Amino acid sequence: MPYFPSYDGAALHYRVLGAEGHGRGRPPLLCLAGGPARDAAYLGDLGGLSAHRPLIVPDARGTGHSDRTDASPAAADPVVYAFPRLADDLEALRDHLGLDRFALLAHDAAAATAQAYAAAHPDRLSHLVLLNPGSRLQGQLPEDARQILAARAAETPEDAERWQDVHTAVRQLKNATDLAEVRQLLLRAAPMAYAHWRAPQRAHAATEGDQLNPVPRAGFWQGVDEPTRTEILNGLTKVDAPVLIVTGTLDAVTGVRAGDAVAASFPHSPRVHHHALPGAGHYPWVDAPGSLVRLVVDFLRE
């Protein structure tokens, strides 16, 4: 398995999917997993995207096969798992791969990591794709995810009992601290993250509990104070790479309006496009893989 050394000597793991594309001159797409701190295995090959471009998928620090704690004294500090520091890990990966400029894709919470990286290294990105981002970094918490959840429950009266259980699980998650309880509640709440609740969605949701990493998860927002947030947002005004933001019209986790808030953070990009993908939830490569792959491939060709 390939590893790379990060800035503090931590050994971090990454996978290469569709590597044969390198030989045909197709540059790789680096893909960051969200969660936060969920094993990157949940990304799969992003609905078949690896057939069009090689994907380099790192396990974020403390997840998957990457070092969790004792690679360096700094690793004992939860701040080492904060997303601006994860952006430093990404820069170490870029240097390890010998890439001058590259395309970057990030899902969910990893969109914050990608934005921190873009702010610090705007000249390194050729394209930026943000899938289902939240807008906590922008200081906004739109209410439309809650509205989407309420609307979906009303449209499917035959599944009223399931949706009621989803609502109950969401409320209980706010106060849950026991990891076993959190895993159980996440599975009960999982239908809100998908456009459908069929076999592919059920199988994908069933993996989440074992892919959670509580210490890195707790550290993701550590030390990210107002000056840090302002510095990142100011840095985004210098990004001149095209940006694609994809949300799902049925995403009851982060919703759609967060995509607008994130898009507004890139005022000087030559092209910022927010695409709300119909028939998709929080995991568009599971709900609408063909539509997502076409959208991303067309964007990367620009």
Q: In what order do the strands lie in the sheet with 11-17?
A: 3-5, 11-17, 55-58, 29-32, 102-107, 125-131, 243-248, 272-277
Q: What is the mean pLDDT of residues 253-270?
A: 96
State the architecture of 3-152+216-301 in CATH terms: 3-Layer(aba) Sandwich (3.40)
Instruction: Quote the pLDDT of residue 157.
Output: 67
Q: Is the per-residue pLDDT at 76 higher than 90?
A: no
Pairing of strands 55-58, 29-32: parallel
What secondary structure letter does DSSP report for 191? G
For residue 242, what are its two tokens? 């095209």
Cβ–Cβ contacts within 10 Å for residue 297, how many?
14
pLDDT above 80 for 159: no
Burial class of residue 89 in the structure, from the number of CB atoms within 10 Å of its CB (0-12 exposed, 13-18 middle, 19+ buried): buried
pLDDT digits (tens, 9 = 90+) for 14-64: 999 996 544 456 799 999 999 999 999 999 999 999 999 999 999 999 999
3-state secondary structure of 130: strand
pTM for the model: 0.94
The whole-angstrom separation of Cα 59 and Cα 209 is 17
Across the chain, what does the average pLDDT equal?
92
What average pLDDT score do residues 162-177 get?
90
Mean pLDDT on 3-12: 94
Amino acid 302: pLDDT: 81
pLDDT digits 0-9 by tens, 103-120: 999 999 999 999 999 999
Q: Classify 16 as helix, strand or coil.
A: strand
